[in-house]
Amino acid sequence: MRYDYMILDVFSDTPFGGNQLAVLTDARGLTRDGMQAVAREFNFAESTFVLPPDDPACARKVRIFTPAVELPFAGHPTVGTACALAMSGQFAPGEILLEEGVGPIPVTIAKDGEKYSARLRLTREPQHFDPPSAEDMAAILTLNASDITDLFSASVGVNFTYVQLRSREAVDQAQLDLDAWRRRLANHPASQIYVFAGELADGAALYSRMFGPGFGIAEDPATGAAAAAIVGVAASRVGSLNLSIEQGVRMGRASFISASAVGEAGKVRSIEVGGSSAFVAQGSIEVPDRFVDSV
**Amino acid identity of 98?**
L
Annotated catalytic residue: which of 46, 100, 246, 272? 46
Q: Is 125 a catalytic residue?
A: no
Enumerate residues 6+ apart whose C-beta is below 8 A from 206: 196, 197, 198, 230, 243, 244, 245, 246
In contact, 70 and 77? CB cutoff 8 Å: no
Q: Write the secondary structure of the chain as one string of H (helix), E (strand) and C (coil).
A: CEEEEEEEEECCCCCCCCEEEEEECCCCCECHHHHHHHHHHHCCCEEEEEECCCCCCCCEEEEEECCCCEECCCHHHHHHHHHHHHHCCCCCCEEEEEEECCEEEEEEEEEECCEEEEEEEECCCCEEECCCCHHHHHHHHCCCHHHEEEEEEEECCCEEEEEEECCHHHHHHCCCCHHHHHHHCCCCCCCEEEEEECCCCCCEEEEEEEEEHHHCEEEECCCHHHHHHHHHHHHHHHCCEEEEEEECCCCCCCEEEEEEEEEECCEEEEEEEEEEEEEEEEEEEECCHHHECCC
Q: Which of 202, 205, 206, 261 minimizes the C-alpha distance to 236?
A: 261
Q: Is 37 left (phi over 0), alpha (psi -120 to 50) or beta?
A: alpha
Which residue numbers are catalytic?
46
